[in-house]
Amino acid sequence: MNAPAFHLESVDVDDPRAVYLRGILDDDLDERYREADADDTPEFAAKRTAALAVHREQIVATLLAIDADDSPIGHVMLRRLGDEWELKRLIVRDTARRRGVGRALTAQVVDLARRGGASRVILQSGRMQPESLRMYAASGFTPIPVYEPYVETMPRSLCFEYVF
């Protein structure tokens, strides 16, 4: 039996559904990395938060995956990070995994960046997100060194690029 269809929708970064999914992502990442971050000083934690911050003026696109019942099941953003184009804040709801949602969102971001003149799309992830790492590799992303703004506060990040 085939899984119900979903579609992708471009939305404002402040769309309540996008904000809701980013909250779920934040909770998930806090849980996954809690032990790794346990010894951080408040100052270091604040630097990491600043490095991870995405500012509205950097956002090129915010995309949602919408299920057949109109519920949001996935989210991703594309941002300009200096001269680079970066995939940010990808999440697929647990209930929607293994349906191609992450790959569809990723492919759309790559296409938008290509059409926008990017030479590559970069992203930052980590070892506690193995399902994401597998999906990025399967989508054609290859490893690169950690890039700014993550070098100081997340030097063990796993970073990737998709080159056109």
Residue 52 neighbours by CB distance under 10 Å:
16
The answer to whether residues 108 and 63 touch, using CB atoms and an 8 Å cutoff, is yes
Nearest residue to 62 (alpha-carbon basis) of 121, 29, 118, 22: 22
Task: Show me where the domains of the chain are located.
Answer: 6-163
Per-residue pLDDT reduced to its tens digit, 151-161: 999 999 999 99
Among residues of the chain, what percentage have pLDDT more than 70?
A: 97
Token output for 108? 């759309």
- Angle CA 120–130–153, to nearest 5: 65
Per-residue pLDDT reduced to its tens digit, 36-82: 777 788 999 899 999 999 999 999 999 999 999 999 999 999 999 98
In this predicted structure, what is the pLDDT of residue 116? 96
CATH number 3.40.640.10 given to 6-163: no
